Structure 1
Amino acid sequence: MSWPFAFSALLLLVSSFQRAAAQDDGPKGTCKRTSTCKCKYENGWTIDLTPLKGVGGPRFTDIWDGQYYYDVNLCSDFSQTHCSSATVCQRDLYNEWGFTCGQSQNSYFATEGTRLFLYYIGGEDGRTSRIELTCSTEDGSLVAFGETIELEYDFELKSIYACAQVPQPSALSPGSVLLLIFFVGFIVYFCVGMIVMRFGRHAEGREIVPNVLFWTQLPGLVKDGVLFIWHTIRGGGGGSSGDGGGTGTSSTNTKYDTLCSAPPRLLFLSPLTCASSQRSCDFRNEMSRTIMRCGVGVLLSLLLATGCYGEVCKKEGPCKCRSSKGVMDLSPLQNGTDSEPIFSQISDGKYLYDYSPCADFSNNHCTDVAVCQVAGNTSDSWFNCGKATDTSFGISDADQNIYIDYKGGDPQSNISRSSRVICVCDPSTRALIEAFGDGGTLEYDFTLTSKYCCFVSVPQEGGGGISPGSIMLIVFFNLLFVYLFVGILYMKFGTGAQGKEVMPNGNFWFALPGLIKSGIVFTFRCGKVDTAGSYENIK
C-alpha cells in the first residue's frame, strides 16, 4: 500500500524542485516580445510595462538630457505639435521643432548580459531610442542620457514594473497535492496489482485486474447506494406499510433489506477470504465498516475544508501584503513622507478625515495616527481612527478586493475606533479615496482606488509556495498515519492481537531506541567493538 504514496511523493519532489529552481534562479534566456511593452523569458518569467501607459498623452514629459526635451509613452504612440505617431519625441529648448525617435509598433527587447533593453525604432531619419529597464521599488522614473551614438538616444527606466514577474501559478495548492497523490496512487495501484495478479498468482484474462469482483460490481453498488439514499429520503418508499400497495413496493423493500444485511464489500481484500476462515471473514466485514465510516468522515472533512479555504493576503508591512496573485504594496503612495498625511480633508458629508496608508503622521489636528477624524477646526476636536502600527489585511467575499483594517481609539476613555480601507485596483488611477463614515458604529469605511491596489507578481525572498521539505513532511506523516491505522486494524481483527501486540511491527518499534543508541555508540567508537563480546549482546 505504501508504493503508490512513495511513487507520488517522488513525483511531487521532482516537480517541486523544478518549480523551486525555476523561481529561485530568476529569469533565463532572452525576453521575447509578446506586445508593444511586454516580453516573456524562456522559463516563463515576464516583464509587463502596461501600468506605465499614458492616458490621452505621453506618460513621461519634459525629460531633460541637458540639451533637449523628450516626451515618452512606453506602450502606445501619441501625437503632438512636432511629432506624429511617436513613442519617443525629441523637442528643442524653445519647442520650435521636434523629431520622432521611435514608434511602439517597431519595438523589441534585447538582453545584454544581465541588463534588459527596450528598443523603439522607426523614427525620422532612422532615429532609434534605447531604454534600459531597471527593477526598482519606484512607480516609474525615466532619465535621459541623450544621443550616445549617432541617431540613437539612451534612457533608463526605474520601476517596479521593470521587475521580472514569477510565472503563475507559483505553487501547488493543497487540492492539487491531494489530487496528484490520489491519481498517481490510483495508477500505481492498478499497475502493481496487475503485475502481482499476472506473475504472482498466474491469473489470466480479466482476472489480472486487482480486486476484479469489486470493480465489476462497483457500478451496481453505486446505483444501489443512490437508490437506497433516495428511498430513505422519500420516507421508506411510500407504500411500504403493506396497505395493499403493489408487488413493486414489496420487492423494493426486500431488496434494500437484503442490501443492508449483506456483508460489505472491501476494496483491498479478496471475497474468497471469507470461505477460508470465520476470523478472516469477521476481519473483512469489520474492516469494511471502519473504512466506510472513515471514508465518509474524510469526504465530509475535505468538503468542509474546500468550502472554508479561501484566498488570504499575508501581511508583509503596514500597507503591503502577499497572496497567490502577487504583492499589493501602497508604499509608493507614501513617497517618503511620514510627517504629513497623504490624503487630507476627505469628507463623508459630516466630518473630515486625514489618511496616510503606510505610516503614522502628526499635524495641527492629529498626533501619531494613520487615520484621523477631524470634528472641527480646533486642534482638540480630533479622534484616532487607526494607526499604521496596528494593521491587518483581508479579502472581501463579495468582490474579492483587498481591505486594510486600522485599529485605533482612546486608551484613556477605553473607546475603540477602527477604519477599513477597501482597495480597488484601477491601473489608470494613481489614487482616489472616498469616505463613507461609520454609521454610528465607530468603524469608519473608506474606498481607495489606485493602481497600487493591483497585485504585482514579484519573487518572494526565500522562495514561495510549498517547499520540497514541506511536501516530504506531508507525505511522510500521511504514510505514517495510514501505516499505523491500517496496521492496528489488521493486527486487531486479522490476527486477534491484544494489548501492545496490536502495534504493527511492534518488536521493531520497541527495539528502535536501543538500536539508535547502539548505533551512536558504535559510530563514536569508530567501529571498534569490545573484545569481551559486548557488541554481541546488543538486542
Structure 2
Amino acid sequence: MMFEILSVVVLALASVNAEFKANCTHPCNCNGVSWEGKFTYPFYFSGEDSGMTYDYVFSPCGAKIDCGNTSKPVVICQSNRTSQANVVVGASSSVVWTFASESDTNQFTVTYRDGDNTYDEKTRKGVISVTVTAQGNPSFVFIGENPVNDNELDYVFAAKIPPGGVSPGIVGIVLICVVLGAVILYFIIGSIVMFQVKGARGIEVVPNYSFWKDLPFLIKDGFLFTFQPCLSGCSKKNTYSHLVSK
C-alpha cells in the first residue's frame, strides 16, 4: 500500500514538472508570449560551426526572407559566407511551442520545422531555447548543429527576450484603429439619423454640425487661453522702478 502511494506521488510530481507542448501553430506568438517587438525583423546575426562562418536571418512575424529559390514560408535562413549558399533552416508551416510547464512561460522552446534537405537528405529544423527575463538586453545566438538521427538535423539557437506578449507599438496601432473606427461610425450613423429622423439636408446632415464648424475657433481660443499669459510675460518690458536716493 505504501509503495502504491509513493508511486502515485512520484507520478504526480513528474507530471507537474513535465514539459507542456502548447496547441499553437502560429510562428510569432503562443500562450501569452510573442516574438513581436523583441527584435527588428528580419533579424540578422552570425555564428560559427566547424570553422565556418554562417550568416542567419530570423523573421517569425511576417517580414519576408529571401533565402534562395524556395517557395517555403521561411522563418530561419542560413547563408554560407564563403559559398553564399542558402539553406532553409525552419519554416512557419510547421511550428511547435514547448513550455517548461503549462503555467511557466519564462522558459520555452520554439521549433521551426520543414527546412531544406537538399544537401545530405537530412531535414533541417530550427530549435530555439528561449528565456524570458527583464535583465539585460535581448539576444539571439547560434549554439551549433545537432544531428538527431539519419534523417534530421537540428540547428540549435538560444534567445533571451524581455517579458510582455504584445509590443507597445502594436497596442498603439490597435488604439488608433479603434478610435478612427469609432469616429467613422459616429459620422455614418449620425448622418443617417439626421437625414432619416430629423429631415436634415445638405451640410446639416453632419451630426453636431455647428460644433464641428466652430471647432477650429475653439481650439484657437483654448491655445490663446493656455499660452497667452506666458507669451505676454515673456514679451513684457522691464517695469522695475529704481529707488531715488535723497
TM-score of the pair, normalised by structure 1: 0.23
Structure holding more strand per residue? 2
Structure holding more helix per residue? 1
TM-score of the pair, normalised by structure 2: 0.46
